[in-house]
Amino acid sequence: MKLPNLNIGGLSAQIPIVQGGMAVRISTGRLAGAVAACGAVGVIGASGLAFDELTREIRLARELSGGMGLLGINIMFAAREFLGIVQTAVAEKIDLIFTGAGFSRDIFKIGRENNVPIVPIVSTGRLAAIAEKFGAAAVVVESGEAGGHLGTDRPLSDILPEVVQTVKIPIIAGGGIYDGAGMAEVFKMGASAAQIATRFVLTDECNAAPEYKHRYQTAKEEDIVLITSPVGMPGRAIKTAFVEKILKKQAPKPVGCDFCLKSCSLEYCIIKALINSQQGDIENGIVFSGANVAKIKDRSIKPARKIIEELVKEAEEANA
């Protein structure tokens, strides 16, 4: 069975896969452009990027996409520069804006005025209904199996049916999906697309250092843990020396602060930890990951196009 197109706010992607936006500098223009070039939705993780850096990444992604697929950014509402990031992306005529880690009402006005579909990340039917009321073009239903910052501990199998019964806009299911069989399952439950992030770390185009990718390749189920975050939300990560310190409440306090978040517990500097790991110093950093990284059968590094081809083939076979 051929997979359906994903239609959002008058835009269409041939392949109903949304590559999750991973910060800081894990999913940049190179990965987003490669995914879009396949006809799917490529997403730049915009949190932690300077405005001019984001501009360059969007332009690179657009060049690499060859006019195929769709391009989006993912930005945390908790980021202090949230509005500036949104305005920068709008100025570059980004196709879609995904937003999570808090809820912004103002962003829907910006979306309407600039004809940019807004896609909030939600974890309950109630929040999905509110997003639809304010003008969301679609919602991402992100469950407790996701990587990074989490808005819930509920499984996707619990949340997705609730949202399907609540809203009429397209629903993108995310959290723990790592193969085509998982995609087929959420389509059967009423999702219009699947959001997948963890699988795309294991690509040539992902901007993470080799050490970061290698930690994905060697991770065992018992290595995947929940940590506290200064953002005020729990986060899912793979054990590193720094993560062990967080779990033991022994992580070093920030030395200096550039106020990257609207509100921060100052338990430790999360942006420094994320930058460290992205650059290869994983023992002094945080490696965010979805719950099912250890279940990926083939954890070799390959082109994003190959990953998408495998996912589509598996999903179509599961739907046969």
Q: Which domain holds residue 122?
A: 6-206+297-318
Number of structural domains (the chain) is 2
CA-to-CA separations, 165 to 173, 191, 235, 242, in angstroms, rounded: 14, 11, 28, 41
Tell whether 106 is covered by a domain.
Answer: yes
Tell whether 1 is covered by a domain.
Answer: no
Task: Say whether both 27 and 109 belong to one domain.
Answer: yes
Please identify which residue in the block is written with the tokens 């807004």. 118
Planar angle of CA 279, 273, 237, nearest 5 degrees: 95
- CATH number for the domain harbouring residue 186: 3.20.20.70
SS3 121: strand
Task: Say whether both 179 and 71 belong to one domain.
Answer: yes
Task: Say whether both 247 and 305 belong to one domain.
Answer: no
Task: Say whether both 172 and 215 belong to one domain.
Answer: no
Task: Say whether both 98 and 68 belong to one domain.
Answer: yes
Task: Say whether both 188 and 53 belong to one domain.
Answer: yes
What does the pLDDT read at residue 265? Answer: 86
Tell whether 182 is covered by a domain.
Answer: yes
What does the pLDDT read at residue 295? Answer: 97
Task: Say whether both 187 and 274 belong to one domain.
Answer: no
Determine if the pTM surpasses 0.85. Answer: yes
Q: What is the mean pLDDT of each run of 10 residues along the chain (320 residues)?
A: 89 97 95 98 94 97 96 87 92 94 84 95 94 96 92 92 96 96 95 97 98 98 95 92 96 82 82 94 96 96 98 89
Tell whether 255 is covered by a domain.
Answer: yes
Task: Say whether both 309 and 160 belong to one domain.
Answer: yes
Task: Say whether both 111 and 29 belong to one domain.
Answer: yes
Tell whether 100 is covered by a domain.
Answer: yes
Task: Say whether both 235 and 181 belong to one domain.
Answer: no
Task: Say whether both 198 and 222 belong to one domain.
Answer: no
The answer to whether 198 and 289 are in contact (CB under 8 A) is: yes
Backbone angles phi, psi at 123, to 5 degrees: -135, 10
Task: Say whether both 43 and 192 belong to one domain.
Answer: yes
Please identify which residue in the block is written with the tokens 């250092």. 209
Q: Where are the alpha helices (DSSP H) in the chain?
A: 29-37, 51-65, 82-91, 106-114, 125-134, 156-164, 180-188, 198-201, 210-218, 241-247, 270-278, 304-318
Tell whether 83 is covered by a domain.
Answer: yes
